[in-house]
A and B are shown apart, each in its own frame.
Chain A
Amino acid sequence: MKARIIERRQLCPEIYLYKIEAPHVAERFRPGQFVIIQTHEKGERIPLTVAEAQPEKGIISLVFQVVGKSTLHLSLLQKGQYLENCVGPLGNPSEIRRFGRVVCVGGGTGIACLWPILKALKAVGNEVLTIIGARTAERLILVEEIRQASSQVFITTDDGSQGEKGLVTDVLARWINSPAGASSPAIDRVIAIGPAPMMKKVAEVTRPQRIKTIVSLNTIMVDGTGMCGSCRVFLGQTMKLACIDGPEFDAHRVNFDDVISRLEMFRQKEKLALETYRRQLAAQREGLAPKELHPKRLSSD
């Protein structure tokens, strides 16, 4: 099922938001779920974050960061062009109920993944405190959207160019470890979505006080429906599949070292594919390669 790109926005130097026509996904999407897409017939199947669904228009918003060949190719597609395949929603929806005070921590494209979760949590009456961070102010995404969806927002940047200088986990640690006064009721739940090392750190910060902490794992996947086992993660001794048992798990039970290690499994090959593609693109610019590296059959819906 091809999915047409109807809007293309660059959120920051490496992160994009695409609105695509995918009515079958939009209709059923719930916060916390994801899709798997393929940019062209010979492409990889990659899981992507869904930032928003507009079922009445049959549209979903995908947010992705350019990290390899597939995402670079995706970033070069223009409005009106098609993704070859898009399947979803996949994975389990986030648990949304009234917890009380929820702290949401986001980094990178994880911020986009948090956005619909924040909205849903606030809608059922939670106090939603959000901490988002990036290396620099320029790399922060969806700040306005997050601000509107949260009760309060705290921003950190590595260089201090916006908000507080430091890491999201510094703020979280300060909140948790400050003496609890009448003005600061306890945190009922923490939800962290971002790079695996960030989520690992969040788990460490909340562990001593046993604050229920949920993370959404962005493992390598192929089919996304429980067939390949590539996304397996370990909760203690128990093996779970991020695609069908997750993607959200209890952060205090996840073995993050395995998650981080397994994300590197194909690193060398991914680098080779990216370099090769960059060379092909350069040759194409100089008129040495065919115009379409991934010729697409033209289709009119």
Chain B
Amino acid sequence: MRELSPEERIKNFSSVPLGYTEAEAVREAQRCLQCRGVPCEVYCPIHLRVLDMIRAIAARRFQEAFFIIQADNPLPAITGRVCPQESQCEGVCPLAQDGRGLNIGKLEAFVADWARARGLREKLQIKERPQRVAVIGSGPAGLICAYDLRRWGYQVVVFEALHKAGGVLQYGIPAFRLPTEVVDYEISYLQEIGVEFRLNFFVGQNIPFAELRRDFAAIFIGTGAGAPLFLGIEGENLKGVYSANEFLIRVNLMKAYRFLEYDTPIICGRRVGVIGAGNVAMDAARCARRLGAEEVYILYRRTRKESPARDEEIQHALEEGIIWMELVAPRRFLGDEKGWCRGVELVRMRLGEPDSSGRPRPLPIEGSEFVLELETVIEALGTTPNRLFLKQAPELAVNRWGLIQVDDNLQTNLPGVFAGGDAIRGNATVILALGDGRKAAAAIHRQLSEAER
């Protein structure tokens, strides 16, 4: 796949992959071995019809390819870009064994982009049903759940607290990985088929959860894990210290990188340290680079081998000049007399025995402390479910991490109330959220159609 050069990339927020031309897509699709066992489909969390899509592309039937994929996935331009394909469809492709695995994600994005450029959308014949279903949260889990239920004819209302729908797709993932117009376009399809979106609406604050239960035949909770974790060390009060969530919300949702055209400000120093090494850390680091930071450090207490980030993300970050500093942990942030961050005191770490996560436990090497000068710190330590929503729905059973507890059908302890995505998993992926949303929609459909009989 052709990409913007790193020199070009760090000047803007344009998409890094340039997308296939028709000829490139056909050539790529023709490499498919057409395995009988279709491992790519088996290992897809939502079992998309990958092989049929690839066959259609190889035969230059792009429209057909699009309809094949869209029938099962309302967000193909999104999943094509953000799924961790290397551990799913592409990872199990036999071609991957000699490092020439088929670029299935890129092909999916290609057909979706091809259809978007032509305004092509499947016209659904919907047989209306009277039951109303509420979906709380408009992230990936909620979107697919709403889509499936609407196709079955339910009256679906999606509640979103922010002023734009999309959840993490909108506020979390930067435009150079997932362009905003792609997200807006795919969501507009749901509106087109009759899903109602109520933005600026916080369930719990604007309507009691109990009242929502009375008003709707079923509820799906896809409230995600949107609350940032902080280290809890000295200096987090300093100006210049952000949670990755704040940094990314300012940049992605509020478009602070176009400040003055957009009103939301962001301050990004010349030297930036990102604490953590997951996908969100890579996103934040790459945003900082595009905001003009000259030195951007990934500060990680383990090593690259243990990093939870996708290889592609790390690779892109390194190409853009991000400095990888591993086996270090922050002790405290240092500030000046005016309360601005000026650096971080780090301690060197070594790896010990595996901990409960199965990864070697990082242990501090006492006496190895040193100071790295920084003006901006971004803490990318992961997130937890939204406390505000859970506080407003105390009847909902959660575990000790605040994750909503569900049974095999994704039903919570409350009959008719289902949940999925990061709200039940913690920090997971878009595709797993899609899988949950789909599974919950099917369970809701079963429950409501049984009740009808």
Contact = CB atoms under 8 A, between A and B. Distances in A.
Interface of A: 1, 24-25, 27-28, 38, 42-45, 69-70, 84-90, 222-223, 225-230, 232, 234, 239, 244, 255, 257-258, 261-262, 264-266, 268-270, 272-273, 276
Contacts of B237: 232, 234, 255, 258, 261-262
A227 B160 CA distance: 13
Interface string B254-284: 1100011111111100000000000000000
A147 to B, nearest CB: 32
Interface stretch (B147-155, B226-234, B321-329): B226-234
A44 to B, nearest CB: 4
Contact of B249 (A223, A232, A244, A266): A223
Interface residues of B, number: 44
Interface stretch (B195-203, B343-351, B407-415): B195-203
A73 B236 CA distance: 33
Interface of B: 161-163, 171, 198-202, 205-207, 226-228, 230, 232, 236-237, 239-240, 242-243, 245-246, 249-250, 254-255, 259-267, 338-339, 386-388, 391
A220 to B, nearest CB: 10
A232 B229 CA distance: 12
Contacts of A89: 205-206
Contacts of A87: 161-163, 200-202
B115 to A, nearest CB: 27
B226 A226 contact: yes
Contacts of A226: 226-227, 386-388
Given A227-B386, A229-B228, A265-B267, 9 more contacts: A69-B263, A222-B246, A222-B250, A227-B171, A229-B230, A232-B236, A258-B339, A268-B267, A269-B265
Contacts of B239: 261-262, 264-265
Given A265-B267, A266-B267, A223 B388 contact: no
Given A228-B243, A232-B236, A262-B237, A44 B264 contact: yes
A89 B162 CA distance: 13
Contacts of B242: 229-230
A228 B263 contact: no
A119 B378 CA distance: 43
Contact of B163 (A45, A232, A266): A45
In the A-B complex, list the 8 residue pairs whose CB atoms are closest, starting with the nearest.
Answer: A269-B265, A261-B339, A228-B246, A87-B200, A229-B243, A85-B163, A44-B263, A258-B237
B340 to A, nearest CB: 9
A273 B265 contact: yes
Nearest to A230: B246
A225 B386 contact: yes
28 contacts: A24-B206, A25-B206, A28-B206, A38-B163, A42-B261, A42-B262, A42-B263, A44-B263, A45-B163, A85-B199, A87-B163, A87-B202, A222-B249, A222-B254, A227-B171, A227-B227, A229-B246, A232-B230, A244-B388, A258-B237, A261-B239, A264-B239, A265-B239, A265-B240, A269-B266, A272-B260, A273-B259, A273-B260
